[in-house]
Structure 1
Amino acid sequence: MFPTRPKAGLFSRLALTGAALLLPLTPGWAQPAPTAPTTTPPVIAPVAPPKPRALTSVTRDEIEQAQYDGGDLPAGQSALTAKVQILLDRSGISPGVVDGWRGGMSESAIKAFQRRAGLATTGRMDHAVWDLLQGYGLSPLTADYAITDEDAAGLVDNIPSDYARKAAMTSQGYTNVLEKLAERFHMDEKFLAKLNPGAAFQPGETIHVTLPAKPIRASVTRIIVDKQTRRAAAYDAKGNLVADYPATVGSADTPSPHGNHTVDAVALNPTYTYNPHRNFKQGKNDRVLTIPPGPNAPVGNVWIDLSEPTYGIHGTATPSQLFLNQSHGCVRLTNWDAWELAHMVKPKVTTVEFLAPGVSIADVTGASPVVAATQTAVTATIAGTRPPARGTRLPPQVLAAESPVPAEAAATASAAATITEAAASTTAATVAAPAPLVITPATPGPTEPLVPATPAPASPGEEPEYPSDVGLPETLPGQPSGSVTLYPQVQAP
């Protein structure tokens, strides 16, 4: 049977449909705005920051006459930054290499300088730092140097990266005169070349060099290694900061040790034993190799052995890369900084403290932000005094007596420095150029050479990574047993 009300429903549906057709046409009803076609916004490629500007060349006068006018050091490479680096080096706060670049090592050095002065450790150049540095600039910052035949002696053709090829060589020496002299004067090779455009760096040639300070001769009883700021600070028995160095400290794969350790021995120009079974594996080399000594050796020209087996403080073949490279757990310094430190530590006495993450050198040496703020407030007073001499180095005023300074420079320096009675009393003895003083302890050390001709026998499977695990005497090469020589501090190439 069919439904009884089909027509009523049909008419209702037809009426609604008609209304739907008429509604859009009725005046007064709003029409939806036409939709604009969607477009994808253009992709703007990120603009790389401008590359730091490098100097094409630099002159001695530009370095000597560079002045600070406020603000941070110039971006890139500049004569002013080179001048600051030389002054930092002379103050006992090593900037690493003198290269004129404002970068990580220079920033860390300024922080260390500010920490020692009790200033806020910003790592940025300011008038307080500049004024304090002037006490170390009373003698010329640059000089002429005549290259000798000896400078060209002992060079090697190249230094291979493969350890097996290194082991087949007789020396890991310098590859050219430029590299050799750059290390002697604490400079980057490229910067030394820019200071001497067109130079061939051959014997008989006179070149321009920067003049760092002579090595410190002090006694270091405590070394603090800050992994975060990548600095190694050396202190004497009274807690005075003797020197502060930039360092490469371990890596993610082979981190440096933790806690406190002791200096066990010192080796200058050591051979190096590569042992893939104990530390790391280099390339395809799977056997123990003995690599000859030299400044381009894996540990540079110095090894300061720590009580933690296979760990030490040592030099590097690439000083300009300290903050770029990673070490195999050790503390890596420039060759000249490591050499300086090696003459100041005392085996079985000097402690080496690796700070825990989040702990700074200032935290464990008593400095505080309150002290820094107070010192900043009295900057005018600090800036008018001469900075303390670096270690046992003669004060800057004594060095000025060795090299005449123009009247204008002397007037400027005297305004920024005060000569103490101690400095004046030392002057006469320095000009007389006394012979080196050799200090020998009452109880001489062992008489065997520092680096044994025949390495100590090792147990099968436990070959030492030389000089770790090898009993080394405390004497430095060419000196009486257990002695250290204090050399007269004369500022000369």
Structure 2
Amino acid sequence: MRRLRLVSLALPLAAALAAPFASPGRAGPLTPETVNGATFADAAPSGLSTAVLKAQILLDRAGFSPGAIDGVPGRNFRGALAMFQRGQELDDQGELDAATFAALTATSDEPVLTAYEITRADTAGPFAPEIPEQLEDMARLKRLAYTGPRELLAEKFHIDPRMLVLLNPGVLFDQPGTRIVVPRVARQTAARVARIAVDKQARRVLAFAADGHLVAAYPASIGSDDKPTPSGTYTVRQVARAPVWRYNPRFAFKEVKTARAFNVAAGPNSPLGTVWIGITAPSYGIHGTPVPEEVGASASHGCVRLTNWDAMALAAMVQKGTTVEFVD
């Protein structure tokens, strides 16, 4: 099981999701037939609905990431809707209306849920039986690996692990050959982007092509009042996949007790996630996270956190010198 996190801002999100995940409510049975066939009439203003689940998957495919797919109309979903609506010249209030649902379904005629057969690579590991909470304890591990196949599969298909379980009741996810239901989230490969904008108020990272066209948008966690995200304009300095994170005592993180520098190994459960996009503001960057469900709801130590899959997608579109603008 994924470890609990000590990020208080994430707790309201977890509490808000508890009831919808315990009881699907209006969603009815969560099957490929009900979700693939969902219409705008199946949407609900709160709680879990098949229409919202369908819309989230379509947004993810189009590059307007809703974060971890959970079927619930939360902040990240509304932010993704607003960006999509803006690109479609619709009313960008971030609410799922009939016109937006129609525009989303027009983007693809492929089913949003599909069958997937678990492979030996999905279950082979090596996995970490437990990831420590404290950074100093993480530094003792050789790799910050997934804690098991369920976590790996959830990230592979951009889905909240609880939703993965709801879609596959009774499945243990650790047997090769098992067929499961997953979102079809394959994205088109995007071209290079010329500019990244980090919108602090919206908690969203926007990627623009050279002609000013919005290519992609991702929910993000940004810094707190104590450890704020920088302001101003910088450029990408480097992209490092599977990064090793070096803690410097001058960071002065409250939860770190040692006054010595130390390294935390690479892996999807690393504090940096699976990729680091370093910028010319020293020690700051855009990177992945070990807890994608908290993106947009938790605070960082000043860097910009994306889900691992969104960070990897963005890393594939930038290069050294790409502009990174922080919008207050």
Q: Same fold (TM over 0.5)?
A: yes
Q: Deviations over 1:242-280 (max 9, x none)?
A: 101111111111111101010000000000011122352
Segments of structure 2 that go 5 or more residues without pairing to the other structure are 1-15
Q: Which residue of 2 aligns with 1:113?
A: 84
Find the partner of 1:223 among 164, 189, 196.
196
Contact 1:276 1:282 in 2 (8 A): no
Distance change in 2, residues 1:214/1:120 (3 Å): closer
Distance in 1 (alpha carbons) for counterparts of 2:304 and 2:168: 33
Distance change in 2, residues 1:113/1:279 (3 Å): farther
Q: Which residue of 2 aligns with 1:265?
A: 238
SS at match of 1:100: coil
Distance in 2 (alpha carbons) for counterparts of 1:222 and 1:269: 24
Matched, 1:102 2:73: yes
Q: Deviations over 1:160-190 (max 9, x none)?
A: 0111211111110100101000100110100
Find the partner of 1:198 among 157, 170, 188.
170
By percentage of residues, which structure has more strand?
2
Q: Which moved more, 1:176-185 or 1:113-122?
A: 113-122
Contact 1:73 1:124 in 2 (8 A): no
Distance in 2 (alpha carbons) for counterparts of 1:190 and 1:275: 35
Distance in 2 (alpha carbons) for counterparts of 1:215 and 1:190: 26
Q: Which residue of 1 aligns with 2:8?
A: none
Find the partner of 1:59 among 24, 27, 31.
31
Q: Which residue of 1 aligns with 2:256?
A: 283
SS at match of 1:248: coil
Counting only pairs closer than 5 Å after superposition, residues 425-464 of structure 1 correspond to structure 2 as: none
Q: Which residue of 2 aligns with 1:182?
A: 154
Counting only pairs closer than 5 Å after superposition, residues 263-412 of structure 1 correspond to structure 2 as: 263-348=236-321, 350-356=322-328
Q: Which residue of 2 aligns with 1:78?
A: 49
Counting only pairs closer than 5 Å after superposition, residues 114-193 of structure 1 correspond to structure 2 as: 114-152=85-123, 153-193=125-165
Distance in 2 (alpha carbons) for counterparts of 1:85 and 1:274: 36
SS at match of 1:129: helix
Identify which of structures 1 and 2 has the higher relative contact order when contacts are C-alpha pairs closer than 8 Å and 6+ apart.
2
Could you tell me which amino acid in structure 2 is paired with residue 185 of structure 1? Answer: F
Could you tell me which amino acid in structure 1 is paired with residue 32 of structure 2? Answer: R
Distance in 2 (alpha carbons) for counterparts of 1:211 and 1:115: 24
Distance in 2 (alpha carbons) for counterparts of 1:102 and 1:326: 21
Distance in 2 (alpha carbons) for counterparts of 1:281 and 1:295: 23
1:215 CA drift (Å): 5.3
Segments of structure 1 that go 5 or more residues without pairing to the other structure are 1-48, 357-493
Could you tell me which amino acid in structure 2 is paired with residue 90 of structure 1? Answer: R
Could you tell me which amino acid in structure 1 is paired with residue 120 of structure 2? Answer: D
1:79 CA drift (Å): 1.5
Distance in 2 (alpha carbons) for counterparts of 1:140 and 1:58: 14
Could you tell me which amino acid in structure 2 is paired with residue 219 of structure 1? Answer: R
Could you tell me which amino acid in structure 2 is paired with residue 216 of structure 1? Answer: T
1:52 CA drift (Å): 5.2
SS at match of 2:155: helix
1:130 CA drift (Å): 1.1
Find the partner of 1:252 among 225, 230, 239.
225
Could you tell me which amino acid in structure 2 is paired with residue 121 of structure 1? Answer: D
Contact 2:62 2:187 in 1 (8 A): no
Distance in 2 (alpha carbons) for counterparts of 1:64 and 1:343: 30
1:117 CA drift (Å): 1.8
1:87 CA drift (Å): 0.7
Q: Deviations over 1:298-331 (max 9, x none)?
A: 0101100000000000001111111221101111
Distance in 1 (alpha carbons) for counterparts of 2:189 and 2:131: 30
Could you tell me which amino acid in structure 2 is paired with residue 109 of structure 1? Answer: A
Q: Which residue of 2 aligns with 1:207?
A: 180
SS at match of 2:249: coil
Could you tell me which amino acid in structure 2 is paired with residue 230 of structure 1? Answer: R
Count of matched residue positions in the alignment of Structure 1 and Structure 2: 305
Counting only pairs closer than 5 Å after superposition, residues 10-25 of structure 1 correspond to structure 2 as: none
Contact 1:52 1:77 in 2 (8 A): no
Distance in 2 (alpha carbons) for counterparts of 1:281 and 1:256: 17
Q: Which residue of 2 aligns with 1:238?
A: 211
Contact 1:95 1:105 in 2 (8 A): yes
What root-mean-square deviation, in Å, do the aligned CA atoms of Structure 1 and Structure 2 show? 1.7
1:102 CA drift (Å): 1.2
Q: Which residue of 2 aligns with 1:3?
A: none
Contact 1:163 1:289 in 2 (8 A): no
Contact 2:63 2:187 in 1 (8 A): no
Q: Which residue of 2 aligns with 1:430?
A: none
